[in-house]
Chains A and B, each alone.
Chain A
Amino acid sequence: MIPAEWIQVIREGLATADRIALVYFLALNSFYAFLLIVSIPELWRHWQVSEDEVLQRLLASDALPPVSILVPAYNEEVTIAASVLSFLSLKYPRLEVILVNDGSRDRTVDVLIKEFDLYQVPPAYPRTIATKPIRAVYRSRMHSRLIVIDKDNGGKADSLNAALSAARHPFVLAVDADTLIESDALLRLARPFVLGTHVAAVGGTIRVANSCRVEMGRVVDARVSSEWLAGCQVVEYLRAFLFGRLAWNRLGGNLVISGAFGLFRRDYLLDIGGYLTGNVTEDMDLAVRLHRYLKERNIKAQMPFIPDPVAWTEVPSSIAVLARQRERWHRGLIGTMISHRKMLLNPRYGATGMVAMPYFVFGELLAPVVEVMGYVLTIVGFLIGAISWQFGLLFLAVAVGYGTLLSVWAVVLEEISFRKYRRRSDTLRLLGFAFIEGLGFRQMTVWFRLQAFWKYFRGVESWGAMTRQGFANKKSE
């Protein structure tokens, strides 16, 4: 029999811990609301510019800086030819495509040699960053702007470094081989140059391609998936990109520029030694190192996010793959934050150190721990009578409702700005998934992210298999 005074102590402890969770929850969600408010003028500004037809003419000008597109590829024999063609046919005055075959075990290189009439050339560029051995360099007889590098397997970061060394142009666009880039997305991404902004990197929007109709490496009909797992991710991506990253433009810059679609100044990347091999989220690590580099050298260059250049990607459609992806992302976040802990709350790094880093540590990295703690304490509190059922239910309703409110707001922003999804049924689906997302999907991803702590401290460095269904012959629903 537990003495009554012990029960009283447990109750008080639970109440205190629950209060901490409540304060954390209120602070975090208030910050989200703040991000949302800050994002509105940014969205308005970008929308005005993106709709400007004169600016579209400007963007088609041959005075834009030339860009090298870096494409790491591993076992992509089925889709590689269409992907390369879609990159080569992007609307942009001057670009080259550098595809790196990362020791694929399938026929990726053979397909490229046949489809693009490749011939072997001497590697006529300096190896500025050490990578796994290069087996051969090819050029195409059909497309002067295509270079293919065949190298031993070394991972995505290693491939990107090989491509970075071979790039001729002052700006590089890092993409995944299976990313579907809208034909004018690179032009839109180059907008800061037209507007005369000094930028170190620019990030564009990633959207969910599941259920979209894809032809020749392009999304020709944007749809919202009817499957709940992909549908919830559509809303999640909208929220993250449409107001999350936009707001960071005004709050110290983005700490994440997606590896699937990000434009960088090549000389800065070379100065920081390129991509870090061995990091499971090389894109976040790169963005943080770049921020650090710019601040330490007092270089006044921005790293903005622009909402209207769009690249589409396939998101996990099974819980197992989603679990691996989210665990890996969180493990990468932990690693990056620990590696760059010197920046945290350090005024030397300006808004990045004082606002962005604290948010990513306390609002993103620790979020799953606090959220799980909140759920567990609420349930235990119920069971031992420390929390009234009215309070517990209201707490859950408000917590879930807050998330839903932000998601619906993101849907509204999408509707009044870029309207990629034209059908009424898609808008209704988006609204539906905005409600569903807070009831199960979010809690599930919290659990996956929590596992990352265990794996990180055990020293796990694997990516985990990321199986995808592919876009071949995909019809819209």
Chain B
Amino acid sequence: MACPRQTGVTPTAILGVAAIAQAVFLAALIAFLLFRRRRTVVRSERLAVLLVESQAALKGWIAGEGMIEPFIRSLRELPAESALDLAAQLAASVLTPDSREAFAAAVRDEPWIQDILGRATSLAWWHRREAARALALVGGPSDRVVVERLLDDRQPAVAVLAISAFPRVADAAMIGRALDRMPQLPSVIRRFLIAAFQQLRTAVEPELMRRLTPAAEPFVLRRWIDLAGELRLNGALDQAAALDSHPDARIRRAVARALGRRPHPDSLAALRALCADADPGVRAAAARAMGQLGSVVALAPLSRVVHDPAWNVRYEACLALGSLGERGRAALGQLRADPDRYVADMARLISGLGDGALLELVAE
């Protein structure tokens, strides 16, 4: 580009300014990089010292050599987030239920915990997460409204922590509302809610039984039947078993899955009937459930189910046979020579697996 020699702003001058600006910006970036690295080191060293002091006070309290106050005082010296981190770790690993309650009572009115609880309405989800985490530590019946709001948070990490606070604050009405909400929750959040329900089994069962009726919406009913199976609630499972002739195949599949978790003489008979269902998904679930019951009585029906026309039913039946110990393995061995090529192929596939590999597949 021809460089004009006239006075005024020339392209060369513009480029000169750009070059200087770049050099300044580059120098600033490098200085920031080096400064930040140094600051990170200094901060982590300081925090390490404070954490050591806190842990020493904690040991004294847990060993019965000191009171809880020095530990609470040491937590005050830490940044609020670090104090919460430490407290959450303690609650999860070291503290007994009694000492956890004593700790919760002692820190509930501490300024740092009040500061964190106040973040429950923050616009930043990581602040709401901290509030939910604090509630999991110190929450009580007075926090029900806040916990319920956080349970509905659109950020899953917040919702999960609110679920952790759930067993501390829930009453029957709250459990009922959570049961109604559970079927619509994303699958990962639902897993955590089910884990929380495990801690409240006695309170959950009557609420669940009230809902296990043929009139319930199939999508929701299916989730509740699965929940009864996961929690192994015998009363609820008995009620679920009565839904084995429900017109919706999704419900019958759920019933089959639940029956696999109900070691009861009636379960095998019900599963045998479900193996003749019109829906291949129901038949496959019933075959798998027979394997889960682990009874050799299932050998004969399973040996018939392996001739099912649907490949997934044959697959589940062979897997179930494989999980029934030596006699199941022997039955599979015989099926390798079955005149039906598809049965023989499936038996060959499953019987080739080692014990560990078979367990992996059964657990899937």
Contacts and interface: CB of A to CB of B under 8 A. Distances in A.
Interface of A: 11-12, 14-15, 18-19, 22, 48-49, 52, 54-55, 57-58, 61-64, 66, 94, 117, 119, 121-122, 124, 139-145, 193-196, 381, 386-388, 390-391, 394-395, 397-398, 401-402, 404-405, 408-409, 411-412, 415-416, 424, 427, 431
B157 interface: yes
B19 A401 contact: yes
A398 B15 CA distance: 7
A64 to B, nearest CB: 7
A43 to B, nearest CB: 15
Contacts of A394: 12, 15-16, 19
A57 B12 CA distance: 57
B160 A58 contact: yes
Given A63-B188, A143-B357, A124 B311 contact: yes
Nearest to A96: B364
Contact of B32 (A57, A139, A412): A412
A119 B33 contact: no
B197 to A, nearest CB: 15
B156 to A, nearest CB: 6
B160 A57 contact: yes
Interface string B333-361: 00000000000011011001110111011
A141 B352 contact: yes
A295 B165 CA distance: 43
B49 interface: no
A61 B1 contact: no
A284 to B, nearest CB: 31
27 contacts: A15-B2, A48-B126, A49-B157, A54-B160, A54-B161, A55-B156, A58-B156, A64-B188, A121-B345, A121-B348, A121-B352, A122-B349, A124-B311, A124-B349, A141-B357, A143-B357, A143-B360, A194-B156, A391-B12, A398-B15, A401-B22, A401-B26, A408-B33, A412-B29, A415-B33, A415-B36, A424-B37
Contacts of B189: 58
Given A22-B1, A142-B356, 19 more contacts: A22-B11, A54-B160, A54-B161, A58-B188, A58-B189, A62-B191, A63-B188, A142-B357, A145-B360, A386-B2, A388-B2, A394-B16, A398-B18, A401-B22, A405-B25, A408-B26, A409-B29, A415-B33, A424-B37
Given A94-B364, A144-B360, A409-B29, A397 B19 contact: yes
Given A52-B126, A124-B349, A391-B3, A431 B357 contact: no
A264 B18 CA distance: 43
A142 B3 CA distance: 74
Nearest to A140: B357
B129 interface: yes
A11 to B, nearest CB: 6
B37 A402 contact: no
Given A48-B126, A141-B354, A391 B15 contact: yes
A391 B349 CA distance: 74
A394 B133 CA distance: 56
Contacts of A427: 33, 37
State the 10 A-B residue pairs at the shortest beta-carbon distance, nearest first. A144-B357, A388-B3, A63-B187, A394-B15, A18-B1, A141-B354, A144-B360, A401-B22, A391-B3, A144-B361
Interface residues of B, number: 49
Contact of A416 (B22, B36, B133, B154): B36
Contacts of A193: 188
B352 A63 contact: no
Q: State the majority secondary structure of interface residues on B.
A: helix
A431 B16 contact: no
A427 B19 CA distance: 25
Q: State the majority secondary structure of interface residues on A.
A: helix
Interface string B12-41: 100110110011011001101100110000
Contacts of A145: 360
Nearest to A48: B126
A390 B22 CA distance: 17
Contact of B157 (A58, A61, A390, A405): A58
Contacts of B22: 398, 401-402, 405
A415 B34 CA distance: 10
A3 B342 CA distance: 89
B61 interface: no
A139 B29 contact: no
Nearest to A196: B186
A81 B129 CA distance: 42
B87 to A, nearest CB: 14
Given A121-B352, A122-B349, A54 B157 contact: yes
A387 B356 CA distance: 75
A398 B3 CA distance: 16
Contacts of A196: 154, 156, 186
B11 A391 contact: yes
Given A122-B348, A408-B30, A431-B33, A117 B1 contact: no
A42 to B, nearest CB: 15
A329 to B, nearest CB: 29
B26 A405 contact: yes
Contacts of B360: 143-145
A12 B356 CA distance: 78
Contacts of B37: 415, 424, 427
A195 B189 CA distance: 10
B14 to A, nearest CB: 9
Which of A117, A386, A388, A416 has the largest count of B CB atoms less than 10 A from its CB?
Answer: A388
A278 B250 CA distance: 44
Contact of A195 (B3, B12, B156, B352): B156
Nearest to A402: B22
A398 B17 CA distance: 10
Contacts of B157: 49, 52, 54-55, 58
A377 to B, nearest CB: 9
Contact of A144 (B30, B33, B155, B358): B358
Contacts of A52: 126, 129, 157
Contacts of A49: 157
A116 to B, nearest CB: 10
A387 B15 CA distance: 14
A49 B2 CA distance: 52
